[in-house]
Each structure stands twice: as structure tokens, then as C-alpha cells.
Amino acid sequence: MPAMNKMESGYASINGIKMHYEIHGESSLIPIVLIHGGGSTIPSNWGTMLPLLATHYKVIAMELQAHGRTSDRDRDESFKQDAADVISLLQHLNIHKANFIGFSNGGSTTLEIAVNRADYINKAVVISCGYKRDGMINGLFDGLQQATFKDMPEPLKKAYLDVNPDEKGLLNMFNKDRARMLAFTDRTDEEMRSITAPVLVMIGDQDVVTVEHTVQMHKVIPGSRLAILPGNHGSFIGEVMASDPASNTPALTVGIIKEFLDRP
């Protein structure tokens, strides 16, 4: 995994939580905002891609409610609340337009922003994310229903504890993330058709969202682009659960994203 670039970091007191954020790089007029998936931290989700992106762009990453170094609130997690928190962070940083990249649950948050806060989006990249329950692979929700903390992957547990050695906080994050996914509700095609920002939809050919559903999502978002890459959930971005230091695919993924973002 590449070393993280030099960066500045801090906490923003927004919407009743203290949100940890980092800013890497400085070269782009329009920054990139990275939104991580469930059970993740900035290093576990973006440790491979972030330094590659930061050589070309100013990159802002955060840890969402109850994740990593960000505090919790006495309220369930939701994609709507996550989207509001991301927008509040950008307001705190005096940023009014950005490119968004969201992975997995972070893709759902990115879609929430694209549908309801389009004024903040220049372009969006939605990675390994569906918009309907039946777009997920068979058994996903049944598995979540039966899942306990023992089933949480060890690399994600370690990644949390590496940045926040709080066992109770880790268990809390697991429980809230699980509940949020079990409560997942479909977006309508009409909502998806309302998206006005340019969108790149990306998926692995062995992902937790089916390729067929991803093609459907690409077709329903006006003018969107589609990239289907070899790999499973997270492998083509180098996420900690699927990272392969010998793989060139994350660099290729960044190249595809860069071409999409840089095209007028």
C-alpha cells in the first residue's frame, strides 16, 4: 500500500458530532471529496487510492458518524444524515463545489447528495453501490440479518482500533452500520433520473452489487458513464479487505477516474 501523502487534519463540530477530516494535496481548483463505506476509516478505505489522487488533486476525506475518530450521536445512522454531515463539513471548510467519490455505503451517500444537494456536485463517481435492494447479490440481506459482531472482518476491526482504541465504539459502529443496511430502502427511478451532475458508475465483475443492476443504474442516470472492472468488492480501489500490493488495478482505476473528472 502506498504511503499516505503529507496532509492537514482536524475536527469539525457539526450537527452534534465532532467529525474527523483530512485534506491531502493542493493542486486542483475543484477538490475531490472521498466518502467511505460501512465499517471503514480513511486509511482502510482509501489508503491505496488517496495518495494516487492527491498527486493531481486537493482531496478531502472524512470519517462519518461513529466511524474511526468521529464521534457518535444518539440517533441511528442514515444516508440522509451522512449526506447532511458531508455538506456541513464542506460549509465548515468554505467549499461550495466538489467532485465526489463514494464507495459502497459511501456511494449511497453520494447518490443522496446527487439527488438532493446537486448544487454542491461538479461530478460524481459512484463505486460498488446499488439503488434497489434487489440489485444486491443473493443472500446479502439474509446474511446481514444473521450477522453478529464475531462476523465482522478482522481487518476492519483492526483498522478502527488503529485510529481509535475503543472496543465499545467499534461494537457500536458495527451495530449501527448493520442496522442502516438492514433498513436500506429503494430509490425510485424518478429520483435517479433527476440527477443532473455527470456521473461515472463503477463496479467489479464479482462485486456485491450485480453487474446487471449496475447497468440498469447507468441507464437510468442521465448521461452517466459506466466502467466494469475485474475484481470483487473493493479490490479495484485497494480497500483493506481486498488489497493486493502487487495489483496495478487501483492505479488503472485512478486513471479512469482522472480522465472522467478532467474531461470538460
pLDDT in tens, 199-227: 999 999 999 999 999 999 999 999 999 99
C-alpha cell at 3: 504511503
pLDDT at 3: 44
Tell me which H or E stretch contains 9.
strand 7-14
pLDDT band, residue 5 (cuts 50/70/90): low
Q: Tally the C-alpha atoms within 13 A of residue 208's C-alpha that lie toward its C-beta.
A: 20
DSSP state string for 60-122: EEE--TTSTTS---SS---HHHHHHHHHHHHHHTT---EEEEEETHHHHHHHHHHHH-GGGEE
The answer to pTM > 0.75 is: yes
pLDDT at 27: 76
pLDDT in tens, 113-126: 999 999 999 999 99
pLDDT in tens, 103-162: 999 999 999 999 999 999 999 999 999 999 999 999 999 999 999 999 999 999 999 999
Instruction: Sheet with 32-35: list strands edge to edge.
Output: 7-14, 17-24, 59-62, 32-35, 98-103, 121-127, 199-206, 225-232
